[in-house]
Amino acid sequence: MPPLHASLSLWTWAWDPTVIAGTLALAAAYAWLFRGGSRTRTWSPLARVYFAGGLLTLFLALESPIDVGGDRYLFSLHMVQHLLLAMVVPPLLLLGLPEQWRAFERMRVSPLLANIGFNLVLAVWHLPFLYEATLRSEPIHVLEHLSFLAAGVIFWWPILVPAGRRHAMSVVGKMAYLAFAGVPPTILGLAFILSPSVIYPFYAAAARVTPLSPLDDQLLAGLVMFGLGNIIYFVAISVIFFTLDDKRATAGEAPTVSVDSAAPMRR
């Protein structure tokens, strides 16, 4: 059994003043924008729910025991935090913006570069020497979190471009985009699951606050990356498919045959 004081510290909240101030500033800016009157006529109530959910998820990822436990004791909790910052917070915040603030017509993000860039950011930060650096240096750790958020915004941008817009992907293209994005987290997750030794020495030396051994914790982290990451993509693919107005878009448009009225037959 882990020591009582260690178990209690796992449930500690961070209460970082900079995170609290940043979250409150975003909420205040959003409230000010909402009170802008005519500029928000096309701003649906659901969008405000999305934005509030994004802010709440951001706050929990950075301030709750998810942050404290991941930074000090459990690799698996750190994986939960990374997925929240990269795959959950960005799309919720983007969905919460009013239509005119999503400059889809003026700003084109290459789906290929967005997908590759996002997965590179995710993979590179999990290289052992960089990952260990984030756990021992607060500035590097902050940079890691900011890069996850920024790469997440860029990654989800092409998915949210509405159909019919100049730079919009097809429905099949969006689903393929998300399916391709699920490959690197799967490989990374399997690497954690199948590794016979602990990859990050920090967690091997960390206080044991649960019955999990460092290797069991690493296996659980792999399951989080492999399982939860792909579940998020599967949910997004399902939403894209089941909200279609015209299911024929998934199979391509049927060719249109034009039949002209027959001309009178000459005798």
74 is written with which tokens?
């459990």
Q: Which two tokens stand for residue 182?
A: 């699920």
Per-residue model confidence as pLDDT tens digits over 174-204:
999 999 999 999 999 999 999 999 999 999 9
What string of DSSP letters covers 211-251?
Answer: S--HHHHHHHHHHIIIIIHHHHHHHHHHHHHHT-S-GGGGT
The pLDDT value recorded for residue 4 is: 43
For residues 131 and 106, what is the distance between their CA atoms, to the nearest angstrom?
36
How far is residue 125's CA from residue 85's CA, in Å, rounded to a whole number?
13
Q: Which residue, among 119, 109, 134, has the nearest Cα to 87 in the 3D structure?
A: 119
Q: What is the pLDDT of residue 105?
A: 65
Q: Which residues of the chain have pLDDT under 70?
A: 1-10, 36-43, 100-106, 244-267
- pLDDT tens digit sequence for 238-265: 999 887 644 444 444 444 444 344 444 4
Report the pLDDT value the prediction gives residue 31, as an integer from 0 to 100.
83
* 178 burial via Cβ count (<10 Å: 0-12, 13-18, 19+): buried
> What pLDDT does 246 receive?
47
**How many Cβ atoms are within 10 Å of 144's Cβ, its own excluded?**
22
Tell me which amino acid residue 244 is.
Answer: L
Q: What pLDDT score does 253 carry?
A: 43
Q: How far is CA 219 from CA 187, 193, 225, 227, in A?
A: 13, 4, 10, 12
How high is the pLDDT of residue 69?
92
What is the Cα–Cα distance from 61 to 54, expressed in whole angstroms? 10
What is the distance between the alpha carbons of residues 207 and 97, in angstroms, rounded to a whole number? 42
pTM of the model: 0.84
- 67-81 confidence digits (pLDDT tens): 999 999 999 999 999
The pLDDT of residue 254: 41
pLDDT of residue 154: 93
Q: 235-238 contacts: CB < 8 A, separation 24 or more?
A: 236/91, 236/159, 236/178, 237/174, 237/175, 237/178, 237/179
In angstroms, the CA 217 to CA 89 distance is 25
Closest CA to 233 of 189, 167, 168: 189
Task: Report the pLDDT value the prediction gives residue 258, as an integer from 0 to 100.
Answer: 42
CA–chain centroid gap for 26, Å, is 18
Tokens in use for 15? 């209460």
pLDDT of residue 79: 96
d(CA 138, CA 230): 29
